[in-house]
Amino acid sequence: MAERPETTLITAGRDPEANHGIVNTPIYHASTVTFPSAQALREATAKPFDGVYYGRHGTPTTFAFEEAVAALDSGYSRAVSTSSGLASITTAMLTLVESGDHILVADSVYGPTRSFCDETLTRLGITTEYYDPLIADGIADLIRPNTRLVFCESPGSLTFEVQDIPAIVAAAHAAGCQVLLDNTWATPLFFRAHEHGVDICIHAATKYLVGHADAMLGVITTSDEAGFLAIKRTAVRLGQCAGPDACWLGLRGMRSLAARLARHQESTMVLASWLQQQPSVEGLLYPALENDQGYRLWQRDFSGATGLFGVVLKTAPQAAVDALVDGMQYFALGYSWGGYESLILPANGGIQRNHLDPEAGFSLERPVLRIHVGLEAVSDLQDDLAAGLARFEKSLVNQR
Ligand SMILES: Cc1ncc(COP(=O)(O)O)c(C=O)c1O
């Protein structure tokens, strides 16, 4: 009988029998690891990625977190953790590319991913081409003989376009390219990346996996052992490693992931449906809504929606948007998301685009807010947003 992911979240990455019956894997702090003999040292050195070898290569806590994510992601049985989500993105990309390569990156990617491509990869002689995230199998026309990888993020950061990952995978694989996916929004619970053909899947565990806004952590899973070994080698060469405390917080967060996401989803549906009816709101960017341009693909490929979405407001000066966000009681202003608490962010400044599909559901002229719905009582959150929209309208009237 196949185990359900909700159960894997509870069972993976711990072994009470091997640990005095204690339920949770302890936190192992380590740099030095000692060996009982010269022969044991030689054997460990010959296989530096197997077992406990040196702190930077991982400790039992690191391995437990990595194994838990790998088990949930249903790809290869091991994963590579890094010091942040962005470090997972850069480590995975650097594993694959070399000078002279061309890479295809979704136009809707997380801003720092874009900066890494534009600044660091450009300096290394790698050309990035941004493609329309709604391109689907049209990606085939952009693949060149030197295209090494196709990078996806679905839904996209700030604008939430859902990508047709199976169509992109089919076209990329036919041309010998690997597909990388930043799956942070959906988590392994709501989008099964490797089952949809993705070769390398990246999670900014900082968000929902940790879930409590108290650690920076990234993790990379792969579809096969060769992918894992290649990424592990790069991570070790870059000196990339996640601290044991962060990995332990990642493991702790995962135990409640299914319960938290169910609540995030439920409250977000309530608020998104209500926001759609408000006169100040021009539209919502949330693929779980039936009228969202991404709904069909979301329904086909995902098993749930999380608590992050966009709100497109009607045209307004900056002062009206400031009036809305400045007086919030529960929605704090801040970067990041995926914790237990609600957040709000004016998003326009972060949206960078080479392609703007008319179907995308937003325009760069309208104010866009990014909202993360936390675990507070949804009626309190709705009251807070209603008061914010009232401040927005009042500011518009005052400026006439
Ligand atoms: C979609 C997405 N990917 C990656 C990251 C990077 O994660 P971290 O902040 O852990 O580096 C973020 C952070 O906001 C993100 O939103």
pLDDT of residue 352: 83
Closest atom of ligand 1 to 182 CA is: 3
pLDDT of residue 356: 73
Please check the confidence at residue 45 and state whether its pLDDT lies above 90.
yes
Could you tell which of 88, 90, 157 is best to mutate to test the pocket of ligand 1, judged by most ligand atoms within 8 Å of the CB? 157
| Token digits of residue 395 | 């500011």
CA distance 182 to 156: 9
Please check the confidence at residue 337 and state whether its pLDDT lies above 70.
yes
Of 74-83, 89-98, 351-360, 383-392, the range with the lowest mean pLDDT is 351-360
pLDDT in tens, 230-257: 999 999 999 999 999 999 999 999 999 9
Give residue 286's pLDDT band: very low, low, confident or very high (50, 70, 90).
Answer: very high
Please say if 56 is a catalytic residue. yes
Q: Verify whether ligand 1 is closer than 6 Å to residue 158 (CB atom).
A: no
DSSP β-bridge partners for residue 129:
104
Ligand 1: distance of its center to the CA of 86 in Å? Answer: 6
CA distance 85 to 244: 16
User: Which spans in the chain are helix H?
Assistant: 5-11, 38-46, 60-73, 85-96, 111-115, 122-123, 165-174, 187-190, 225-238, 244-255, 257-276, 295-301, 318-326, 378-399
Q: Verify whether ligand 1 is closer than 6 Å to residue 86 (CB atom).
A: yes
For 387, residues 6+ apart whose C-beta sits below 8 A from its C-beta are 327, 328, 329
| Token digits of residue 206 | 């900082």
Region 331-349 average pLDDT? 94
pLDDT of residue 177: 98
Please check the confidence at residue 14 and state whether its pLDDT lies above 90.
yes
Instruction: Specify the pairing of strand 332-333 against strand 368-372.
Output: unpaired
Please check the confidence at residue 361 and state whether its pLDDT lies above 70.
no
CA distance 269 to 234: 41
Of 207, 232, 370, 391, the catalytic one is 207
Q: Verify whether ligand 1 is closer than 6 Å to residue 199 (CB atom).
A: no
pLDDT in tens, 146-165: 999 999 999 999 999 999 99
Distances (CA, A) of 7 to 10, 191, 274, 306, 390: 5, 16, 33, 19, 44
Q: Verify whether ligand 1 is closer than 6 Å to residue 213 (CB atom).
A: no
Give residue 172's pLDDT band: very low, low, confident or very high (50, 70, 90).
Answer: very high
The number of beta carbons lying within 10 Å of the beta carbon of residue 79 is: 27
CA distance 374 to 377: 9
Between 396 and 363, residue with greater pLDDT = 396
pLDDT of residue 362: 64
Please say if 207 is a catalytic residue. yes
Ligand 1: distance of its center to the CA of 295 in Å? Answer: 23
Q: Verify whether ligand 1 is closer than 6 Å to residue 155 (CB atom).
A: no
Q: How many CA atoms lie within 13 A of 348 on its CB side?
A: 15
Give residue 350's pLDDT band: very low, low, confident or very high (50, 70, 90).
Answer: confident
pLDDT in tens, 173-223: 999 999 999 999 999 999 999 999 999 999 999 999 999 999 999 999 999
Region 340-347 average pLDDT? 96
pLDDT in tens, 85-123: 999 999 999 999 999 999 999 999 999 999 999 999 999
Q: Verify whether ligand 1 is closer than 6 Å to residue 267 (CB atom).
A: no
First to last CA, the chain: 65
CA geometry: angle 320, 322, 326, nearest 5 deg? 130
Which residue's CA is minimally distant from atom 9 of ligand 1? Answer: 85
Ligand 1: distance of its center to the CA of 359 in Å? Answer: 26
Region 341-350 average pLDDT? 90
Ligand 1: distance of its center to the CA of 82 in Å? Answer: 12
Please say if 101 is a catalytic residue. no
